[in-house]
Copies of this chain bind each other. A is one copy, B any other.
Amino acid sequence: MRATIPSPPITSVTRQLSRRSVFEALLHRGPISRADLAKVTGLSKQTMSEVIDAFGQQGLVRPVGRTSGNVGRTAVLYELSPEGGHVLGIDLGARRLTVALADIAGRVLAEADEPTDSRGGAWALDQIARLSDRLARDNHTHPSRIRSIVMATPGVVNPKSGAIEMAPNITGLDHLNVVGLLGEKLGSAVVLENDINLALLGELWHGCAQNLDNVAFLALGSGVGLGLYVNGRLVRGENGAAGEIGYLPIGGDPLQAESRLQGCLEYQVGATGVVRRYREGGGSDVDSEREVFERAQAGDAIAACVVDETARLTALAAAAVIATVDPHLLVLGGAVGARPDFADKVARVLLQLAPRPVEVRASSLGRRAGVVGALSVALRRLHDEFFGVGELAAALPLPPPAHRSARQ
């Protein structure tokens, strides 16, 4: 086995751009010959040979057979090598921990999950490290080859510091330097991101929202939350609090005490809200919001009523989001939101609310969405590390209003 992968050597901007477009072509056009690469990228054949040579020496690329059947000389086919680097996606949920491993070409090599260590905090982090290590070794990958790690976590992630600001569902996580500790344990930098945001990105990469630029993802589970993808980019907001729609002034008096504390919409549509409304409606004791949904499907009239009201409020929230950002698609996700029957109900109410109908789909990845999204971000970060063009791509900023005189 070769030594650890060297960072790409410093090269000129123009060569970096060439490398970048060759990489992109390799990524999307699978095994491909140098001649075809030259045609696709517009580069000359010998530039192509130089780039492929360099890629080969970095372990980024490997030959995989030759063409055959066509007239003319056979060509050597190349593809991205799994040796080029690996990425890890983690979804740390309150109940379930999922980890997945992919290579630089985005091929998902393995996936594993376990119940989250209920002691939370440091125990959960240890569990993550254990599971990740096992996954790497089982796939003949030394953990040190993992160059990019992204973890989905509930709560608000500060977009500047990358720290968790509130993780109500996992005990003792908010007072821990998660990025630092986990990075140490795993031997590589870790990036955190809100779980709903990553579920949205998962649907965008491998799920029901592929190739779209404007998507809203409404998650309904123990709480209610929103992920937004606008102009082809994730919306985090100034404080990472974008999508905290529990506080939407919908479903009650927003100035009421309970509403102000946990959010007006959350108070009605969150798990405790659903259970409370079921109890208030005369229903017998239930443990979780899930049970209410199951009873509704089993014919419980009170439960059905609660579910209908939940769907109605969800649709109102969705209408607010749709009026605000005008997405192409609304994805319903989360433990209860992804239920097709519930999605249908919401879609029906929505049809009566919106000035123009919006497509509504239930999440197609279900609870895998979070890991898949984490993988996609980890992958993107790895690609950027190797082939990013940095600020070069930034838009030309406009001049400030203060001007020196323009002598005519």
Contact = CB atoms under 8 A, between A and B. Distances in A.
A408 B240 contact: no
A139 to B, nearest CB: 9
A24 interface: yes
B397 A28 contact: yes
A286 interface: no
A403 to B, nearest CB: 5
A2 interface: no
Given A231-B231, A319-B249, A240 B326 contact: yes
Chain A contact surface mostly:
loop
A115 interface: no
Contacts of A393: 389, 392-394
Contacts of A210: 400-401
Nearest to A263: B355
A174 to B, nearest CB: 16
A241 interface: yes
A233 interface: yes
Contacts of A354: 247
Contact of A320 (B103, B320, B389): B320
A399 B228 contact: no
Nearest to A64: B407
Interface in A12-30: 12-14, 17, 20, 23-24, 27-28, 30
Closest 9 CB pairs of A and B: A237-B326, A393-B393, A238-B328, A242-B326, A241-B326, A106-B399, A30-B404, A247-B323, A214-B238
10 contacts: A17-B392, A24-B397, A28-B400, A64-B407, A82-B408, A233-B233, A236-B326, A242-B324, A244-B323, A263-B355
Interface of A: 12-14, 17, 20, 23-24, 27-28, 30-31, 64, 79, 82, 103, 105-107, 140, 205-206, 210, 213-214, 226, 228, 230-233, 235-250, 254-255, 260, 263, 316, 319-321, 323-328, 352-356, 376, 379-380, 383-384, 387-389, 392-401, 403-404, 406-408
